[in-house]
Amino acid sequence: MMTSTIGGLARNFWKMAGAGNDFLVFAGTATVGGREAETIRRLCRRGTGVGADGVLFVSEKETAAGARPEVRVDYFNADGGPARFCANGTRCAARFAVLRGLATDELVAHTGWGAIGATVRPDGNVTLRLPEPIALGGSVATFDPEGRQVEPRAASLTVGVPHLVVFCAGDVEVETLDVAALGPALRRHPDLPEGANVNFVSVRGGSRLAVRTYERGVEAETLSCGSGVVASAVVAGAERGQLSPVSVATRSGSALVVGFRLEGSLAHDVTLTGDARVVFEGLLKEEAL
């Protein structure tokens, strides 16, 4: 048996991607302290490591006879810190569980946010049924060093982790924004003590959005953020009249679909559908650590 490297796990891993978010996925539970967090940082570093937005640990969970299979999903950002939830990662974890024989195609994934139902389809797409309700929070001022590129107020809400939803101003398109300049100050907004992922949104016709996200824990723009897509769709439904289901284009070119039912400031029956692709299987070597 090979020596373990992260939290007691073997060196075998899968590289997976969900709508442009990429992950290293390990089978088993994890105990991550300072040493293991540093290992995660090295492995996620692009160029000198494997390269990823985060690391997932997936393990089988005991269930009562006849109950739907359940798995536990532990997620760590590229900076080595734990996060309660990653929507793109949870889709990948659900498909990993099915392909590894830990669960059937209808399962429950237990995350730091709560129990999430998942349906894994033969084509590799996965639908998540999120804990509810998702509540719209207040609004905070935006900071725009580039001039008036975004609306002066941003909506704050939690989809497992904190989010800001910032709409582009006037005829500005999200593709033209300097997210690297706008993102850091908003990610550390003084009104949000935990910080937040920052989602910049353009509204299209026909219940369609385009979203770009600056993610805390990665401290950069990522190609997609599933929980940020959900946050953006719910806010667009509540404030801009977008009707469910909402199709959301991400920077990766992949689209995610969000379903919801609004009752005032609460979103119920929230679902997220998108791809969960296996990129390759790997075996970590000492030089990578």
Active site residue 86: yes
Residue from 44, 92, 168, 225 carrying the catalytic annotation? 225
**Spatial CB neighbours of 83, under 8 Å, sequence gap ≥ 6:** 54, 75, 76, 77, 112, 160, 161, 217
Helix, strand or coil, per DSSP, at residue 43: helix
In Å, what is the CA distance from 116 to each residue of 133, 143, 224, 251? 13, 34, 20, 25
Helix, strand or coil, per DSSP, at residue 185: helix
**C-alpha closest to that of 55 among 284, 286, 285, 287:** 284
- Please report which helix (H) or strand (E) contains residue 36, including its range: helix 34-44
Secondary structure letter of residue 216 according to DSSP = T
CA 87 – CA 30 distance, rounded (Å): 19
Among all chains, which residue has been given the structure tokens 């237990």?
A: 110
Backbone angles phi, psi at 213, to 5 degrees: -130, 130
Catalytic (active site) residue 92 = no
d(CA 199, CA 137): 15
SS (H, E, C) 112-139: CCCEEEEEECCCCEEEEECCCCEEEEEE
CA-CA-CA-CA dihedral for 38, 42, 45, 46, to nearest 10: 180
CA gap 94, 82 in Å, rounded:
19
Is residue 81 classed exposed, middle or buried when 0-12, 13-18 and 19+ CB atoms within 10 A define those classes? middle
Enumerate the β-bridge partners of residue 211: 201
Active site residues: 86, 225
